[in-house]
Chains A and B, each alone.
Chain A
Amino acid sequence: MNAANYLYVSALLFSIGAIGVVVRRNAIVVFMCIELMLNASNLAFVTFARINGNLDGQVIAFFTMVVAACEVVVGLAIIVTIYRSRRSASVDDASLLKR
């Protein structure tokens, strides 16, 4: 089977994630889109590992997963905290640093 197909899927997933980050306001959805992009890149890494026949890409994919997990922990905590104090999960409302 052609490995390139996996890459197309990866690119598609990444694009969906990227567009989602840009167009969606809800923080949770944005967050999910980021996860989508991370996983798209993971898919690409694994595919390349397969193509090149070594484990480098797979190792990096694991690293990415660990980082993503940490990010989810911190990110969700921030989103929940913001939601608690502001009763809103819209990312556009949270532009406090500007002012």
Chain B
Amino acid sequence: MTSNSLVYLIALPLFGSAVLLLAGRRSDRWGHILATVLSGSAFVVGLVQFAQMLGRSNDQRAVTQKLFSWISVGTFKVDASLMLDQLSICFVLLITGVGTLIHIYSIAYMSHDLDRRRFFAYLNLFIAAMLLLVLGDSYLNLYVGWEGVGLASYLLIGFWNQKPAYATAAKKAFVANRVGDLGLSLAIMISFATMGTVSFAGVKEQAGHASTGALTAIGIMLLIAATGKSAQFPLQAWLGDAMAGPTPVSALIHAATMVTAGVYLITRSNFIFDAAPTAQLLVAIIGAITLLFGAIIGTAKDDIKKALAASTMSQIGYMVLGAGLGPAGYAFAIMHLLTHGFFKAGMFLGAGSVMHGMDDEVNMRRYGGLRKFMPITFATFGLGYLAIIGVPPFAGFYSKDKIIEVAFNAGGIKGITLGGAALLGAAITAFYMTRVVILTFAGSKRWDDKAHPHESPALMWLPMVLLAVGSVTSGIIFTHGNSLQNWLAPVVATSPAHEGELLKPAVVSILALVLVLAGVGLAIMKYLRKPVPSEAPTDVSIFTRIARRDLLQDDFNEAVFMRPGQKLTEVLVATDELLVDGAVRGVAHITQSTGRTLGMTQTGFVRSYAMWILLGAIGLLATIWVVTL
């Protein structure tokens, strides 16, 4: 099937961003409205596509649109063409839907900022790039969107880059992402060298003929790409700092959409990972490590946004784990991605709402008891909270428990280890999320009298309410009659039947619930029963201190990459100056000094010249005499 309206999905927001950036201050008055309308129109286009897709039979649902031939050299042919299938439509609706809600929210949230127009231009740019990422029909087209969202993320993290720390955070995010991009570009090179094609359809067709070694290499490179974009171990360090960006950005880019691109990439490349078990196992392991890593960091953070960021990292770890479990897990990874998109975006917007009412204070130790002042924020945040810790029947329960269950049933030691990690992660998640809720909304007030907490305007709470509805209902909708699994079946291989499974679904659910309750209980004991100091206590154990320092991720990067890199740069600069250029200057110096030395014989005294001539003549004669002797 071909369609000629796919391009509008990208063109509408791209047009908005171009207009706002080129028109500059002239569009200050209406820029945010234009951007929101265009993002909304993209959502409408997405809905129309979705409706048309529903009207077709399951194997006819994918549509493509070829725009033009982009690069064509020898056998390397890449078209700029788009493909919308069952997997990408999920993302299109998530991106444009949540994206539009966040546009609306930002109109109010950014209303006092002089550069609001620029903010909306970047948001539209992000939407366009993200849509290109999920609509591209080849790895190279995806790559354009992949770096495009990186650029938008860089611009938005550094939106207030007059603060040096924020500018540094933006740069850090870009560089970490670039390391991931390196993986993606290598994956594309390998796949062209082995299979002669870089389009999804082409690679899917050829993957069966390629050697396992090549596929494993491609898989590992794709995994590196995913770790960069999705803040997975070991490239996770940028996400916490990325919270420097305005809160709507954290909600849209660093929670709901961009950071999940890695999961999309792995799921999209299922045909590679299914044929490369080593790479697939690595994916699962990385996911398991990250979900614990993020959860542990989450327990120690006092900054509400950083706590949520750690939680995002951890939740994406679940998705990556799911995607790493192969055909059994892809659909649940995507399901968790979608439900997470709702509840985490909702919670970030809630955090933004709290900050909005608290003069941009982010330290949860200065909050407390806010539920009375911000009832709507509390309610929506609370629903998101119930969803993320996995209380039935909220969305997270369906998606997360499924991933835990599939992990347990992966078989052998692998299953028990991965499942155990996922289960432990669920308990820690319950603990730190309860901590966030208690510190923010419950307990006694800890803010000073200058703050006047108040509920946010309707433009802000309306999107929060809609996202909360999503966090409540999406899980039921996606699992009702295995709807999402069946929907995705033509794109990703379907889950095999539960034969010889280790644990029954009900057992997993009960185990998880018990652990979640334990986590919640521990948090209540620790933070609700005892008063919370408004300064973080310093006499804490070494473990807490390490967790507060993000498990030493920055210290590691600085010690292993940054400082040696700086040293190497210094050494090379000195080498270039002294050795390479020194050789050139040395030759020049030798020439000069030779000239100067020889010039000393030129005394300027006629008689000495005459003397030399005489001696020369005598010498010449003597030589002739000796030779002819």
Closest residue of chain A to B617, judged by CB? A18
Q: Which residues of A contact B604 (CB under 8 A)?
A: 95-99
How many Å from the CB of B130 to the closest CB on chain A? Answer: 77
Q: How many Å lie between the Cα of A25 and that of B606 in the bound state? A: 9
Which listed residue (A92, A98, A99) contacts B607, Cβ 8 A? A92
How many Å from the CB of A99 to the closest CB on chain B? Answer: 7
Interface assignment of B57: CB less than 8 Å from any CB of chain A: no
Q: How many Å lie between the Cα of A84 and that of B128 in the bound state? A: 92
Check B610–A22 contact: CB distance below 8 A. yes
Name A's interface SS.
helix
Check B607–A95 contact: CB distance below 8 A. no
Check A22–B611 contact: CB distance below 8 A. yes
A contacts, CB < 8 Å to B: 18, 21-23, 25, 30, 91-92, 94-99
Check A30–B602 contact: CB distance below 8 A. no
How many Å from the CB of B621 to the closest CB on chain A? Answer: 12
> What are 10 contact pairs spanning A and B, CB under 8 A?
A18-B614, A21-B610, A21-B614, A22-B607, A23-B607, A91-B606, A95-B603, A95-B604, A95-B605, A95-B606
Check B607–A91 contact: CB distance below 8 A. yes
Q: How many Å lie between the Cα of A44 and that of B605 in the bound state? A: 30
Q: Which residues of B contact A22 (CB under 8 A)?
A: 607, 610-611, 614
Q: Which residues of A contact B611 (CB under 8 A)?
A: 22
Name B's interface SS.
helix
Q: Total A-B residue pairs with C-beta atoms closer than 8 Å?
A: 30
Q: Which residues of A contact B614 (CB under 8 A)?
A: 18, 21-22
Closest residue of chain B to A94, judged by CB? B606
Q: Which residues of B contact A92 (CB under 8 A)?
A: 605-607
Q: How many Å lie between the Cα of A21 and that of B607 in the bound state? A: 7
How many Å from the CB of A55 to the closest CB on chain B? Answer: 27
Closest residue of chain B to A92, judged by CB? B605
Q: B residues 122-158 with Cβ under 8 Å of A?
A: none
Q: How many Å lie between the Cα of A95 and that of B606 in the bound state? A: 8
Check A98–B606 contact: CB distance below 8 A. no
Check B610–A98 contact: CB distance below 8 A. no
Q: How many Å lie between the Cα of A21 and that of B610 in the bound state? A: 7
Check A30–B603 contact: CB distance below 8 A. no
Q: How many Å lie between the Cα of A18 and that of B611 in the bound state? A: 9
Q: B residues 474-521 with Cβ under 8 Å of A?
A: none
Closest residue of chain B to A24, judged by CB? B607
Q: How many Å lie between the Cα of A18 and that of B604 in the bound state? A: 19
Q: How many Å lie between the Cα of A35 and that of B407 in the bound state? A: 114
Interface string of B596-619 (1 = CB under 8 A from A): 000000111111001100100000
Q: Which residues of A contact B602 (CB under 8 A)?
A: 98
Q: Which residues of B contact A30 (CB under 8 A)?
A: 606-607
| Contacts beyond the supplied A21-B610, A98-B602: 15 A-B pairs with Cβ under 8 Å | A18-B610, A18-B614, A21-B614, A22-B610, A22-B614, A23-B607, A25-B607, A30-B606, A91-B605, A94-B606, A95-B603, A95-B605, A96-B604, A97-B604, A98-B604
